Structure 1
Amino acid sequence: MDEGKSRKVKLTPNQARLKLESYCAYQERAQQEVRSKLYEYGLYPNEVEQIISELIENNFLNEERFAKAYVSGKFKIKKWGKLKIVQGLKFKQVSSPLIKLALKEIDLNEYYETLSAILTKKNNSLVESDPFKRKNKLAQYALSRGFESNLVWEILNNNAVD
């Protein structure tokens, strides 16, 4: 049995706040991530909420900034579609209004071009010769990346994928 995992690290509220300042300064964080981390440190709910308030007040923690950074990174780097991004933000317990606001950061032309490029790249790697099966495999691939079905089929049916 691994004893290191069974022992909880108990920190004072001040120690935890200092650790979380570094944690938040390194990368944008969702409030729920920070809250979970504080509970891991063995703090009580009132201490957790106090530290979160201080982190927000001192601009270490900003849910809107986190949501926008998350959307930008997942779209531009991982090439995720909006549906998968929304799912990820909901998992991190970001509010719906903030999710909508953050999604507005995605340029629609760039979104369309990214989806088209993903489909073209996947099309070039497929060995399927039946055009119907090929189209379905491409659609499934794009849907699994979180793109909207109407947009996927619009591109596929307009033969925008060569």
Structure 2
Amino acid sequence: MDLKKEIREIADYPKEGISFKDITTLFKNRDAVRYVTESIYHGFKDKGITKVVGLEARGFVFGGAVANQLNAGFVPIRKRGKLPSEILQETYELEYGSDVVEMHADALSNEDIVLIHDDLLATGGTAVAALKLAQKCGVKQIYFSFICDLEFIDTPNKQLLRDYETQVLVKYN
């Protein structure tokens, strides 16, 4: 399936010079949703995943579905101030600013094998923040999945992620 046809591109959003990849249009196509979910599942079904970590907000959609298929738990990583209990947090840089993400402190343990999922890999800042949160919990193994990778953006964060098994469904060069 050509997922690029299902992903809307919006020029100059959220600021001039950025070509935003909007996967919410992909959600409308049940065949595309099934394809993405099945592709991620098949890429990780034999890895022993115990928790899928989804990054706010679009990472929740497929993260939850894949966790269900993998018979794993789901852990949300949220923007600052959205979680009600004791949290761990990481500050990260992204292509148009900086932000903070948080995870419940008791969400992961040293027994977990984790799949971190997000819709888009741009600078890698959010993914590395999620990685650091998982590492603080001492998890056994970490994998990554992304729907899209903006390969033309090369950063130290993305170079760090090369040390981890990663699945990408759509690449933009």
TM-score (norm 2): 0.26
Q: Greater helix percent: which structure?
A: 1
Higher percent of residues as strand: 2
Higher relative contact order (CA 8 A, sep 6+): 1
Give the structure with higher Rg (CA): 1
